[in-house]
Amino acid sequence: MKLQKGLRFLSLAVIVAVILFFSLIGWAAHLYTDWLWFNSLNYQQVFKTILVSELGLRLAVGVATFVILFLNLFLTRRTLVNAARLSRPLQDEEGVVTLYPPPAGQLLSYRTLTVLFVLVSAVLGLFLSLGVSGDWVILQKFLHATPFGTDDPVFQKDIGFYFFTLPFYQFLYKLCNWWVLLTAFVVALVYFVAGMMAGQAANPFQSMAARYHLSALAAVFFLIRAGGYRLQQYNLLYSEQGVVYGPGYTDLHANLLAYKIMFLLALLVGVVIIVNAFLKRFRPVLYAIGFLVVASVVLNGIYPALMQKLIVLPNEMEREKPYIENNIKMTRLAYDLDKVEKKDFPAGRTITAQDVRENQDTIKNIRLWDYRPLQQTYSQLQEMRTYYEFKDIDVDRYVINGRYRQVMLAARELNVDSLPEQAKTWVNQHLKYTHGYGIAMSPVNEVTGEGLPQFFIKDIPPASQTSLKVERPEIYFGESTDKYIIVNTRDQEFDYPVGDDNAWCTYQGKNGVPVKSFLRRLLFAVSFRDYKLLLAGEITNESQVLYYRNIKERVRKIAPFLLYDRDPYIVLSGGKLYWLWDAYTVSDMFPYSEPFQGRLNYIRNAVKVVIDAYTGEVTFYAAEPMEPVLQTFQKIFPGLFVPLDKMPADLKSHIRYPEDLFAIQARKYTVYHMQDYRVFYNKEDKWNLPTELFGTKEEAMEPYYTIVRLPGEEKPEFIQIMPFTPQNKKNMIAWLAGRSDGEAYGKLLVYEFPKQELVYGPMQIEARINQDTLISQQISLWDQRGSQVIRGNLLVIPIKDALIYVEPLYLQAEQSKLPELRRVIVAHGDKVVMEPTLELALQKIFGERAAISPAQPAAPRPEQERTTAPKTIPELAREANRLYDEAQNKLKQGDWAGYGSTLEKLKATLEKLAAEAQ
């Protein structure tokens, strides 16, 4: 029986040892391949810093936990051994009980207990060290703190104290609490067992050793708790109890006083417990702890509530005045709203045909393509194969043929998950189908005769109709590249499709991780958990492994301490493709600042990240080198951040005001443009973000990029715009602009309208469109069975000192995912018109002299002509609309022969439509 138990124990031990061994091998292999990856990007110092900081902190916490636990357990040895000697009562023949020590072999020896205590302390130390995983950033920021040069208005401490020092103190406080509570629990458990063994079931803690030991731990707990009350004073700066975020009157006159008193009381309780250990009286301890609890309820609950009700509420606005002003000032600082430049914008002005002609740069860059229907159109026209995809549509600007143009573009990425099932082999997914190919690019305002985008760059290989050329179209690193690949193998990679055949290529980059040897290949197989990597005969020692290819994973792997924008965007520069991605330094520790995402209440666009889509090289550019959080990270990671001046000039021309930052600032500005405490308290001038119709649903309006010439400026520039509406009203009260070009980059402008005059807001324009009889009838006619009308983004475009509103309409068949731009609605002054093109709409409002030059959309290419005759009523109706638009375009171009031919086709189609209707 004993042999069987021994074998079971041995088998279990072997299984556990094997599992631990393979887990350790897997961890080591993953660590090694990560080292190779960081080294291939020349970021090995970043890897070392993160690894040493992480392991160093965990080791320090683990060792400290072990020492604290072991020393406390070591003090219990004598009590436990003595209890074991008294644990074998024996009866003689007359029933008299006598206590004898057990046989020597059954005694709990000091050596046995020491080994047991070492194991218990080590295991608990390991578990507690795992709990601080990721907290290395707190330690490093504490060691490399940077002052802000601005003090908080309550404790007069530099903001850097709250960003870098206070979080470390709070971390130590939580750690000390864990140490004391865990130690007290383990020690109490030992004394409980010892008491039960000694026959003291009624009071197992009655030994002097237990009393002294547990009293000392309790005293230490309350001394640490006193430190906690001291730290909680600073947490009042993030109070959510008052009329604004941050401490109000009650917080600073009641809660702050309460924490100071609780600090002294906790110290007193600790002293009482220590003294009582020698006096051997338990009641004073109970009285002290009870008094502390009652004081906590009174001071932190009842007293603040009474003060709020009796003193603050009767005259809340005046009582809270300085704290409201603190909140306004600090929130504006935290979001850079204190630098917003305010300007007046007249209301009710109109422009003339002359103004339209003089602002051609703005008119020609009005975006007629909404990114949502355009993504479907791109997918239908330019994906070419099922395994290609356009993950997102980006908006940018380029100088094309000497003109400053706003364009929409998307990267054609390869998604191996979309390969046909029979093609989803390991070789195809990791060795053959390795990269996407090229981009599609179209101007924001040009449309073909069929209502489709007029491409600047299209097809595979990329064909350009402009001065822009794509010389390195391969995309090895993107938003869809989730699998590792191996390049430079014995076989070539699939490059791009050519008719019924394929083109093949070999990777020319040098930034992958070389395979080099079978041992390294084995480690890759273990790290990736893919044994097939060992069996592939195509792999050689000269092959390179490319992994962490998804740019969102790749960048975060290097700099996990930054917050990133939701939308990295593709850029064509010098014939190569790059990804630009905005990164933010953030914190939740800015005093008095209203949070924006969970608890985060500070943000700066301090970093611009550039990723080479071919080589995967990642460069972090310091966009705000004087920003204190970034300066701290620069101290932690010397050489990681490169000055923005070193970014190539062409790439630098594509940086833009970040979308997420602009949206956050716009949302905050709806409230924090009010700087008078009375107006702020009453929310008399609160603004809202507007809504618009997309499709048939009302939804929040998104900020949008456009090229305009701002009032008073000489040149057009690429800006981001967000209109504002008053609270509970639909008219427009102001609009915010984020600038992206040249020396003006990063500046915010707000243009405010006179409050006493009406300026139409987006939903009021939507209502005017719906109320227009001709427009609503035409939309109803289109929006019939078999087709769907999609109303695109409503854009508010400033021209000179007036506004025009532009909304595109798309038509999409239910069976098709190919939206076509069919009409453009323009509103200005008291006019709302809908025409096939923007130029015709402007001419209808301003007259023939408002022509856009060059104006004509490109004629449909022969290969775009319909190959099958429409048969159903919806198809015939769409065909009639298409022919009508085509006839109008040919008339504008002076193509009278084409105009007559198209009218004949239109007549035939209408006759067929009439026949089908009967």
Pairing of strands 457-458, 474-475: unpaired
Instruction: List 439's β-bridge partners, or say none.
Output: 411
Characterise 868 by phi-psi region: left (phi > 0), alpha (psi -120 to 50), beta (else). beta
Lowest-pLDDT range, 318-332, 391-405, 569-583, 834-848?
834-848
Residue range 654-662: average pLDDT? Answer: 96
- The identity of residue 817, as a single letter, is K
Residue 280: φ, ψ to 5° = 60, 40
The pLDDT value given to residue 246:
95
Asked whether residue 502 carries a pLDDT value surpassing 60, the answer given is yes
E-strand ranges in 668-801 read 687-688, 691-694, 697-700, 704-708, 717-726, 734-739, 748-752, 787-791, 795-799
Q: Name every residue whose Cβ is closer than 8 Å to that of residue 670 and which is 6 or more positions away in sequence.
A: 686, 687, 688, 689, 724
Instruction: List 106's β-bridge partners, or say none.
Output: none
Q: With beta carbons less than 8 A apart as the criterion, state whether 590 and 159 touch.
A: yes
Tokens standing for residue 243: 């009329």
Counting DSSP H helices and E strands in the chain, the numbers are: 30, 34
Tokens standing for residue 637: 């990671």
Instruction: List 404's β-bridge partners, or say none.
Output: 399
Q: What is the pLDDT of residues 126-152, one digit of tens each?
A: 999 999 999 999 999 999 999 999 999
Residue 287 burial (CB count, 10 A):
12
Lowest-pLDDT range, 58-62, 216-220, 427-431, 852-856?
852-856
Tokens standing for residue 833: 């018109």
Residue range 84-93: average pLDDT? Answer: 56
Q: What is the pLDDT of residues 763-813, one digit of tens each?
A: 999 999 999 988 888 888 887 766 788 999 999 999 988 999 999 999 888
- The identity of residue 336, as a single letter, is D
Could you tell me the pLDDT band of residue 86, with boundaries at 50, 70 and 90? low
The pLDDT value given to residue 695:
75
Residue 6 burial (CB count, 10 A):
10
Helix, strand, coil shares of the chain as percentages rounded to 5? 50, 20, 30
Tokens standing for residue 346: 């007249």
The pLDDT value given to residue 341:
96
Cis? peptide before 854, omega within 30° of 0: yes
Q: With beta carbons less than 8 A apart as the criterion, state whether 169 and 665 touch.
A: no
Instruction: List 827's β-bridge partners, or say none.
Output: 805, 832
Could you tell me the pLDDT band of residue 714, with boundaries at 50, 70 and 90? confident
Q: Which of 765, 655, 713, 810 is nearest to 361 (CA)?
A: 713
What CA–CA distance (Å, rounded) separates 712 from 386?
A: 50
Residue 726 burial (CB count, 10 A):
17
Q: With beta carbons less than 8 A apart as the criterion, state whether 222 and 273 touch.
A: yes
- In which residue are the tokens 């850097």 written? 160
Residue range 869-893: average pLDDT? Answer: 66
Burial classification of residue 848, based on how many CB atoms lie within 10 Å of its CB (0-12 exposed, 13-18 middle, 19 or more buried):
exposed
Q: Which of 139, 145, 161, 175 is nearest to 49 (CA)?
A: 139
Q: With beta carbons less than 8 A apart as the criterion, state whether 359 and 621 touch.
A: no
